[in-house]
Homo-oligomer: A and B are copies of this chain.
Amino acid sequence: MTTPLRGLLDRDVVAATAGVGLFAEALRDQAVPVTETEWAPPMAGTEADLATVMADRRRVEANALAFARMTAAEAKLVDVRPAAQALSLERGTFLHAGPPLEWARASGPMRGALIGAVLLEGLADTPEQAEEQLAAGHYTLEPCHHRDAVGPMAGVVSPSMWMYELRDDVHDNTSWCSLNEGLGKVLRYGAYGPEVIDRLHWMTRVLGPLLQQSVRASGPFDIKSIIAQMLQMGDEGHNRNRAGSLMLLRELLPGLITADAPSADIAEVVRFSGANEHFFLNLGMPACKLATLAAHNIPGCTIVTTMARNGTDFGIRVSGAGEEWFVGPANTPEGLFLGSFGPEDANPDIGDSAITETGGIGGFAMAAAPAIVKFVGGDVPFALEATQRMYGITEGEHTAYTVPILEFRGTPTGIDVTKVVRTGILPQINTGMAGAVAGVGQVGAGLVTPPVQCFPAALASLARRAEL
């Protein structure tokens, strides 16, 4: 028999350390070269669940399958239709962003958006009346995600609003998102003044039908391909959608120009769409929803398939834990403010748009979009570091979405609950910030993470379902 360790200590000692710095310091004091690696203990109290879930015999394969499905999912814009048709949304039902929510616990911007939607539908004559009806429980509130839809910020959808309809034929899934209203005083940020409702009426009367004509005439349009390209053009797909919006406009144009409509309407639709640098967000979100939907409901899988906020709670769902939500209080983003607004004006984190991070773009792709730091705060090294940090909690590197400055490395994709719990690293989200008071609208944009507790809770559920 050989002795494999023979001679090991005859050579100079070279050490690697993990965790607290004391060991490394002690070695350096003795002139021993040392390489330190980062390490932190798992989140408190998770050791037993972690051991159980890591031992689930289905886990490795389930996660690999989820990742393969997420990255293979298509996203084709196939139609634009009113929510009443597309989602069979009933009069008196309103969809909203994030996990389930009741009026009593709803934040200012969520209340403002619901009031606006009630007014838009003609169910009340005044904001006060709408608020009374909502408070009295006249209406049904339901998460967008429960109908495979997504909505930015408050994410309120009512039956007359027009929706983008996206298809993933590979996995036979469909997802929907409302049309983007632009920035500032808009419904999704909780504003509901007359100019907000007028704009929504115009969107229903002119914008939606014209987009429908264009998509039906020259679609379907490959939204996944636009996301892949925009990451080569300084966008990350959550708070920077400049190139994506221009590419979408280019796709829509031929069908718009030849549409059967007054040329003044066409010109206004082009002007409205071209002026909105976030126009594409409402396509990128359902594209990411289709990716995560394809990865959902795989037994034993520890990949996060939903992260969503309703302005009060932050909720996640996990592939192997079905329709269960794991919820904690939403954090308030830190970032840059518009005009004279400041941190005290900001509502806690809100919106389904964290589906972008769940799908491997947004905050996870900030290295592709260094200029975003001028909008959400942070600096360029932070943007690079954010993406690199996310490789530590994800299943793999996206096969279609790549980051040029990282030498075309795929974006970190497929948040693994076990990796989040083991490392304590939380998903990096960037986001718009709504004013905390109903009616105010957007006050800024910033950086935020989910509340820690969602992940140990999800892990516990996975542990209960584990097959060893």
Contact = CB atoms under 8 A, between A and B. Distances in A.
Nearest to A379: B407
A99 interface: no
Contacts of A253: 253, 270, 274
Contact of A267 (B250, B258, B271, B380): B258
Interface stretch (A25-33, A77-85, A239-247): A239-247
Given A234-B234, A370-B405, A404-B370, A257 B246 contact: no
Interface in A351-375: 370-371
25 contacts: A229-B242, A233-B233, A233-B234, A233-B235, A233-B242, A233-B371, A234-B234, A242-B243, A243-B243, A246-B247, A253-B253, A253-B270, A253-B274, A254-B267, A254-B271, A257-B257, A257-B266, A257-B267, A257-B270, A258-B267, A371-B404, A380-B405, A380-B408, A381-B407, A405-B405
Contacts of A257: 257, 263, 266-267, 270
A124 interface: no
A229 B277 CA distance: 13
A86 interface: no
A124 to B, nearest CB: 37
Nearest to A370: B404
Interface string A168-211: 00000000000000000000000000000000000000000000
A68 interface: no
Interface of A: 229, 232-235, 242-243, 246-247, 249-250, 253-254, 257-258, 263, 266-267, 270-271, 274, 370-371, 379-381, 404-405, 407-408
Nearest to A408: B380
B233 A243 contact: yes
A327 B413 CA distance: 53
How many copies of this chain does one complex carry? 2
A250 to B, nearest CB: 4
Sorted from nearest, which 5 A-B pairs have the closest CB atoms?
A246-B246, A370-B404, A232-B371, A233-B234, A371-B404
A67 to B, nearest CB: 25
Contacts of A247: 246
Nearest to A403: B370
Given A380-B405, A404-B370, A258 B249 contact: no
A234 B234 CA distance: 6
Contacts of A243: 233-234, 242-243, 246
A250 B274 contact: yes
B258 A263 contact: yes
A267 B218 CA distance: 13
A449 B46 CA distance: 60
A174 to B, nearest CB: 28
A267 B270 CA distance: 13
Contacts of A370: 404-405
Best-surrounded residue of A266, A404, A407 (most CB of chain B within 10 A) = A404
A232 B370 CA distance: 8
A270 B254 contact: yes
Contacts of A404: 234, 370-371, 380
Contacts of A379: 407
Best-surrounded residue of A234, A247, A404 (most CB of chain B within 10 A) = A234
